[in-house]
Amino acid sequence: MNKLRFYSSRLATLMLLPVTSAVFSAPLELVKPHELIAESHISSAHVAALETVARRYATFWDTGDEALAREALADNFVDKTPPEGRKQGPEGALLASRAFRTAVPDLRCEVEQMIVAGDRVVSHLHFRGHFTGTFGKLKGKGQQVDFIATDIYQVRNNKIIANWHLEDNLTLMKQLGAL
């Protein structure tokens, strides 16, 4: 009887191992662009490398997973169009995400289209969520947030070294009740 319990216990343990390891090792699915456009003369390997780094950064905005931003952004990353007071480097993007997720905790980001050309990636982003937190002195009432942004990334050595971005802040501010 003791041998039967031992083998039953071992069998149960072995049966759980694949399930347990699969759960813990499952890679995070990166946000996919609805449309990918690439210069025809660029190799597919080059397109894939630039697309991957841009998808990591978009997935950071979609999930708030800061490890993805750290993977995507170079240590010497430069925000070419920062709002007043934003820190440079990866830390600026991390702080911006944290602050916005305080206002919109369920923030989601989709990539409507992605264009790869040379060492650049243009991402047309669509953000959605609900303003249930705080944004400066404003307190959310659950209103919907739905706005677009366009980012232009310069990529070197599989890292974003620079970003020029433009957000539809007029729409966003109206939705937040600031205007």
Per-residue pLDDT of the chain (179 residues; tens, 9 = 90+): 454 444 444 434 334 444 443 444 455 799 999 999 999 999 999 999 999 999 999 999 999 999 999 999 999 999 999 989 999 999 999 999 999 999 999 999 999 999 999 999 999 999 999 999 999 999 999 999 999 999 999 999 999 999 999 999 999 999 999 99
- Rounded Cα gap, residues 143 and 177, in angstroms: 9
- Rounded Cα gap, residues 27 and 29, in angstroms: 6
40-47's contacts with Cβ under 8 Å and 24+ in sequence apart are 42/116, 42/117, 42/118, 46/116, 47/116
- Is the model's pTM score more than 0.85? no
Strands (E), the chain: 36-38, 73-79, 108-117, 120-131, 134-135, 138-139, 143-156, 159-167
CA of residue 145 relative to chain centroid, distance: 17
The strands making up 73-79's β-sheet, listed across from edge to edge, are 36-38, 108-117, 120-131, 143-156, 159-167, 73-79
pLDDT confidence of residue 28: 75
DSSP 8-state class, residue 33: B
DSSP 8-state class, residue 76: E
The helix/strand count (H/E) of the chain reads as 5, 8
